[in-house]
Chain A
Amino acid sequence: MNRDVTRRDFLRTAGAAGAVACAAWALGGCSGGATGEALKFRARPHPNAEAWKGRIGLAQGGDDPGRNVRAAVEKLCGPDGAKTFIRAGDIVVVKPNIGWAQVPEMAATVDPAVVAAVVRMCLEAGAKTVKVFDNTIGSGSKCYEFSGIEKAARDAGASPEQCAPHRFKRVAFDDPQVKRLREWPLYEEALAADVFVNVAVAKTHNASLVSLCMKNLMGIQGGDRGKMHQEIHQNLADLNCVIRPTFNILDATRVMAREGPGGGRKEFVAAAKTIVCGTSAVTVDAWGADPAHLPWMPGHHTLAEVKHITLGAAAGLGVADPAKIEVVA
């Protein structure tokens, strides 16, 4: 049994393998550019999005944030709740803020009970799958663990996955209302969803003053997000012109009243036991950012200073004046 490989055999095999590898490489290279059809955010708007632009659902009090979530949604949408925007078989993305490696008591991330309630509502309304993810700021594993959201979402029946870099795809920011950003890599799963539910936690922020629903959308951005900080208010308004969530939920069970968005001390956190929801992120944020409504540190900001809200309203995304918001409580 002479199995000696001659040099010629070896070169022939190696050459063939190399050619296959090069072909695969070339194909891989092509698929990025040539076949890459323009990706767009395609989640459906809420059927009443236009009519409810200035309307929010509000639930406060009690010790069960999950019940507040259901109550707020039913206040806004009626007894059908999430069925008003989810159809049977939908692929739903729930995007909570999981950005920081902090335990829920620090209010840096959405309360896991809120995420669990949202996931259950979506599944009960007929969603086929509910995906939960966030492009975290801290180490992904730590954020998913410390926030308690990975476990809560999985227990509720969703599939929480960490973001993978190759699934961020360049999206043209070609909405006519966009002023500053031209394009940005966004997460494929968010772009492919039928329904996109934006779940934010109420926090202060050192650059954008507050971090609510509009700011929470940064969690589907890849790339160098530090570059969002140059003219952050306009950039956030631009992002919200391109990504218009089906539904927005603001978790103000706890409010990080100062030293946001990272926090890390319980003294920074104020209990508010509040859930706000709406079809417009701008409108929800306008209500939430108002110092009259949530326990922000006195003097931290005025609503007028939170320019991304007024810029968003100017782009037609919602209502910035709390007096004009219809609160269904």
Chain B
Amino acid sequence: MAKRSKPKHPLHVARIVVQLLFLGLFLGLLVLTARGAFAAVHPRLARLFLDTDPLVLTGMALAGVFTSGLLAALVIVVLSLILPRAYCGWICPLGTTMDIVDRLLFRKRDRSKNFTPRLRQIKYGLLAALLVLAVFRLGVFGWFDPICIMTRSVSAALYPMADQGAKAALVAAEEHGVGAAGRAYDWGVGSRVLVPETDLKKGGPGRGFGVGYEWAWVFTALFLAILGVQAYQRRFWCRNLCPLGALMGLLGSLSPLRPRVSAKCVSCDACRKGCKTGAFQHVEHRKRFTSLVQECIFCYACERDFCPEDAIRIGPGHANPIRPQPHVCPGRRALLGAAATGALLAPAFILDQRTRAKEETNPQFRPPGALRPDEDFMAACIRCGECMKVCPTNALHPTGIENGIGGLWTPSFVYNIGNCDYYCGVTKADVDAGLMDKPANLCGTVCPTGAIAKLSHEEKTKWKIGTAVFDHSRCLPWARGEECLTCEEQCPLPEKAISHQSQTVANLEWLKMPQDKRNRYDELAARQARGETLSAGEEKELAAMPPRTRTLALPYVLRDRCIGCGTCENVCPIDGPGGIRVERLQTREIK
């Protein structure tokens, strides 16, 4: 880069400060939301970045889903009308992360020859296809929305990784005799900066793998790819792929505010090379460079950093009237093609979903309050991962394609990892004060689209997610004649959904005796039963043999009481799939 002879534009400095503040806010809110009662007290703050996402608002409007919280996105819509993509340059936490990585790793890299204006069109095609899918009631635009990407990547992958890494380091230090490390660990857990292992079920003491999520490696890989592809082009994602950026660019197409190149321009190419998003371009038959309003993110670097002739000003004016912009928006034909692709994919996704819904092999268990039927949920869910982040027991995880490819990364319980917490979102103060009508499912509290409705404690503890079913080939009492009842013990319902009855069962110890001993046992027992008096020796012999039968407490599920919270499946002491598992079978019975 050229030597910096001029001081930075004041708004350039302000922009960096604002970027860091918003990234800090995003991460701070995320850590606060991931632990503790913050989400219950400040739900709007917990979902601030998603509530203000215009792509979410647009997608939901097209899907016919409305929540008042999303109206906050109108603030950003208005901002975009005036300053088209200032959001990308100043606010977007993914954009800021890209800038930080770019500064750390690729600062000295000359990427000016990797100028690919045609690739920019992809984002408009993507936007068109995703919005058509939204009309078909599939909220899959969340796969590509940068706020959803950031939320998923950080909360389901990076934060758990940092948590585990910090714990591993502190534990190693503590075990080498560093007392301060132990105290730091206790402070971290006490203040909820680290995830308390005792809050997790199978992650609890003795097992302790901490909080973690399915698909974490994919989220990590995609996140790193988005950051790393900047080795080819700065802000590659924002220039070429981001559907939210595309939407904001289109919203602001008529804005008078933009970088304006004056007649002083000598076509030196410095602005094209220097601009983070490639918003300057040379246009044939024109003597000066032109700026593309849909690409500019108002970073305020151009005015003083690149242009040697002082020919660029950001602001309104008439010197450079709006004219057709080259390679910004794809042609009508391409756009229609993208929309048609979305329209073709939508029924394919839906067919896939319906076919797979008939399979019971890998059922999905939606959070309590999730819209029913599942088609409504799939329309409103934007796959952002907020519910998974806030789930206090780490029970909600992003699904794979069990429910069709359109359902990828929607939330589902994985009961082997966590259970739906009976007192989720409720504090002791609430119980003492009898305040049991406030939202008690944290997943519903933070859901930005209402795909998961807010439920009171009473509603939540009656919401049927599924039904527990004993697997008689695995359950210890049923399959192996051993005592257990751990599931009944831990069923959290005041009217337990699991009960037991003592029954006469075969005694395996008797079965272990060789046939002649069994015969002898039967003979002596039969004589005793007939009222014959056995000799002292015979009585002793009979008493030394294990009895033919024994009584054993056998557990049963009381189906109408069970809500499918999965505590029983989670605590089942069998390794591998539990002897009791929640199944979807009974959910069809309810509305």
Contact = CB atoms under 8 A, between A and B. Distances in A.
Interface string A110-138: 00000000000000000000000001111
Interface residues of B, number: 50
16 contacts: A31-B175, A103-B428, A103-B431, A137-B490, A140-B199, A140-B204, A141-B199, A161-B190, A163-B198, A163-B205, A164-B197, A165-B208, A207-B483, A224-B573, A229-B483, A231-B482
A261 B571 CA distance: 15
B431 A24 contact: no
A161 B186 contact: yes
A206 B488 contact: yes
B427 interface: yes
Contact of B206 (A28, A185, A264): A185
Contacts, number: 133
Contact of A261 (B36, B190, B199, B489): B489
Given A166-B175, A227-B573, A146 B428 contact: yes
A39 B176 CA distance: 17
A169 B388 CA distance: 32
B174 interface: yes
A247 interface: no
B174 A166 contact: yes
B493 interface: yes
Q: Which 10 A-B pairs have the closest CB atoms?
A: A140-B198, A226-B573, A165-B208, A222-B206, A264-B494, A223-B206, A226-B486, A222-B205, A165-B205, A265-B494
B351 to A, nearest CB: 41
Contact of A146 (B185, B204, B431): B431
Interface in A211-252: 222-224, 226-227, 229-232
A235 to B, nearest CB: 10
Contacts of A318: none
A229 B199 contact: no
Contacts of A145: 427-428
Contacts of B185: 164
Interface string A259-299: 10111110000000000000000000000000000000000
Interface string B484-505: 1110111111111000100000
B421 A206 contact: no
B114 to A, nearest CB: 22
Interface in A57-110: 101, 103
B286 interface: no
Contacts of B553: 207
Given A164-B185, A262-B490, A231 B483 contact: yes
A205 interface: yes
Contacts of B379: none
A148 B428 contact: yes
Given A164-B189, A231-B483, A262-B490, A139 B199 contact: yes
A27 interface: yes
B476 interface: yes
Contact of B484 (A138, A205, A207): A207
A44 interface: no
A264 B493 contact: yes
Interface in B167-206: 171-172, 174-176, 185-186, 189-190, 192, 196-200, 204-206
Residue of A31, A166, A261, A265 ringed by the most chain B CB atoms within 10 A: A166
B422 interface: yes
- Dominant secondary structure of chain A at its interface with chain B: loop
Contacts of A230: 476, 482-484, 573
Contacts of A161: 186, 189-190
A162 interface: yes
B432 interface: yes
A47 B192 CA distance: 41
A41 interface: no
A196 interface: no
B392 interface: yes
A260 to B, nearest CB: 9
Interface of B: 36, 171-172, 174-176, 185-186, 189-190, 192, 196-200, 204-208, 392-393, 421-423, 427-428, 431-432, 476, 482-486, 488-496, 500, 553, 571-573
Contact of A226 (B171, B431, B484, B496): B484
How big is the A interface, by class? 35 or more
Contacts of A165: 197, 204-208
Given A101-B423, A227-B573, A262-B490, A166 B199 contact: no
A139 B570 CA distance: 13
A301 interface: no
A288 B347 CA distance: 67
B551 to A, nearest CB: 12
A168 B423 CA distance: 27
Contacts of A28: 172, 175-176
Contacts of A207: 483-486, 489, 553
Contacts of B491: 262
Given A142-B199, A223-B207, 6 more contacts: A28-B175, A101-B423, A146-B431, A162-B196, A185-B205, A226-B573
Nearest to B555: A206
Contacts of A261: 489
Contacts of A223: 205-207
Contacts of A205: 489
A163 B490 CA distance: 20
Contacts of A24: 172
A57 B496 CA distance: 36
A101 B494 CA distance: 12
A223 B575 CA distance: 12
Given A164-B197, A185-B206, A226-B571, A206 B485 contact: yes
Nearest to B480: A230
A164 B484 contact: no
A257 to B, nearest CB: 14
B478 to A, nearest CB: 14
Residue of A27, A135, A230, A261 ringed by the most chain B CB atoms within 10 A: A230
A24 B204 CA distance: 26
A101 B185 CA distance: 23
A254 B387 CA distance: 38
A232 B494 CA distance: 24
A262 B489 contact: yes
A315 to B, nearest CB: 20
Contacts of A142: 199, 392, 421, 423
A259 B192 CA distance: 33
A42 B192 CA distance: 32
Nearest to B487: A226
Nearest to B186: A161
A71 to B, nearest CB: 28
B488 A141 contact: no
Contacts of A265: 494-495
A12 B571 CA distance: 49
Given A103-B431, A164-B186, A146 B207 contact: no
Contact of A262 (B205, B492, B573): B492
Contacts of A227: 573
A168 B428 contact: no
B573 A139 contact: no
A109 B173 CA distance: 34
A295 to B, nearest CB: 20
A50 B422 CA distance: 45
Contacts of A264: 492-494
A275 to B, nearest CB: 24
A185 B392 CA distance: 26
A185 B492 CA distance: 26
A206 B428 CA distance: 26
A135 B431 CA distance: 23
Contacts of A164: 171, 185-186, 189, 197, 205
Nearest to A28: B172
A103 B430 CA distance: 11
Contact of B207 (A138, A206, A224, A263): A224
A265 B492 CA distance: 11
Contact of A139 (B205, B392, B476): B392
Interface in A136-177: 136-142, 145-146, 148, 161-166, 168
